[in-house]
Structure 1
Amino acid sequence: MRWISRLSVGALCITLAACTSSPTGRQQLTLYSDEQLNQMGQQAYEQYQQELPTVGGATHRYAECVASALVTELPERQRAQNWQISVFEDDSANAFALPGGYMGINTGLLKIATNQDQLAAVIGHEIAHVLANHANERVSTQSATQLGLSVLQSSAGIQNEQMLGLLGAGAQYGILLPFSRRHESEADVIGLNLMADAGFDPRASLTLWDNMSEASGGQPPVWMSTHPSHGQRISGLQTGMNEAVARYQRAHDAGKRPNCSQPV
C-alpha cells in the first residue's frame, strides 16, 4: 500500500539522520541535542526539588561521597559536567540521574540499599542511563512513534476509535515498553562495571535486587512492565559478574577503596 511505503521511507530518513551507538554498541535513534536534553534534565530536577523536601547533613554527605567516587570514573566529557546529587524525603525506593548531571535518591531507597556498595549499584545504574543517552533515545522513540501513528491515521484514513486504540496499545507494548526494558538491562551492565571501576563491590548489586524483590511484592507481567523482572535482572547481572569482579580487584589493587560513612 502506498501509505506504508511513505511511512517506511520517512522512518528510514529519520534513522539515517540520527543514528548513534550506545556504549555497548547498540544502534540508537537520537533526535535531540545535548543542550536540549540538559535543559530537560534541569527542568525535571527543579520540579522534583519543588515537590519534595531535601535532606542534608550526614545523609547528603554519604550520598555525595558514593556519587563522587562513581563520577570520577566517567569518561572525561561526562566527568566535566557539574554533577550534583540531592536526597529527597520520600518513602518510595526511587533514584534517578538526568542529562546535565542531576542526580537524586529518596530516603526510602536508603532503607533497601543498606551499605555503600548497594547504594553505588543504584547510583551507578542511574548514571549509566545518562552515559548511554537513554533519555534522548526514549523521547526520540516516543516522538517518532507519535509521528508514525499520525501519518498512519491520515494516510489510511483511519477514523475508528477502537482501531486507533489498538494501534496505540501496539505502539505502547510493542515498541515503547520493550525499549525501556532494553534500557534497564543495558544500564545494569554499564553500571555494574562503573561501580567496580570505582572500587565498590559489584556483588552487592545481587543483594540489592534481592532486597528490592522482597520489598516490592507483586509485579506486573514482564511484557507490560517498563523494567525487567527481578529474576531477569539478577540473571543479567550474574552474566557480567566475573568481568565486574575482575575490574573491582584491579581497582582495589590501584588503591580505589571508597569509605563513605553511613548516617547513624
Structure 2
Amino acid sequence: MPPLDGRQLEGERMLSVQSRLPLGKPFRPRTRNVRRPFTPLFTGQRYRLPRDVRDRLTSSLAPFRNRDAAFALATFLGRFWSTPGRIGLGFPIDRRELAKHPEIQLTEKRVRSAIHVLEEIGFLDRAIASGSRYKPTEDGLRRKPILFVFGSEYAPTFIAANKRAAAVRGGCAGQRRAITRTSSPRPSVANAEASPLNGPKSKGELETSMLMGPLVKKSGIPPLASESDPRLEAALDRLLQGIRQSRGG
C-alpha cells in the first residue's frame, strides 16, 4: 500500500514481525576444552601446595590449554606469598624476572597467559589500589606495578593450612625431652684420704750453692765457726794458762 503523502519508498518490504525479534546475544569467544584428565607435573619445584588448594586448583584448571603453566605459576606464588606474615599482603608479578627463573621454566608470554587464567578461576584477585596509578621517576611518570592477592576461595584455605602446620610444629616441640647436663662424678672423700700426699722434695738432694758458684773449701776463705780447729784451741789454752799464772804470782 503506497503512503498517503505520495512519497515513494525505496528498498525491500519488511515483515511486520521482524521488529519484534529479540536482540542478538553478545559474541563470546569459544574456548577449546581439553578432555584429557589433568595431572599436575611437579618438576623443578620443591614446594607443594596444600592438599585442599591443590585439589581445587587442579579441577579449576582442567579445561584450559595452558593449565600446566598456570599451575606452575600458582605453586611458585604460593611458596613465597602464602606464609603467615605475607598472606594478607599484595604482591607484584614481574613477567620478565619470572621468565628467567629456572624453577618454573616459562616464557614471558606464557607467564602473561597464566596470570589471566589464574584471575579467571579466582586464584588471583587484583588488590585495591589507592592514589595515583603513576609514580614519578628520573625518566618521568611511570605506571605503578599491579598488585595481586589470593582469591577469596583460596586465601582461607592457605590460612587454615598454616594453622595446621603451626599446630604440628608446636606438638613436636612439646614432645621433645629436656636435655639435662650430666655432671662429672666428684672424687670420694675416702679415696682422697687414702691417696698419699705429694710432699716436698728432700732438701738433701739440693747442693749448697751461691750466686757466684759452689762454695769451695780449698780457697782462702776461713772455715765456718761451727767447725773445730785443734791448733787454735791449743793456742787459746796456752793463753789462758799464762794469764792465770801471771795473776797468781
Structure 2 length-normalised TM: 0.23
Considering Cα pairs closer than 8 Å and 6+ residues apart, tell me whether 1 or 2 has the greater RCO: 1
Structure showing the higher helix proportion among its residues: 1
Greater C-alpha Rg: 2
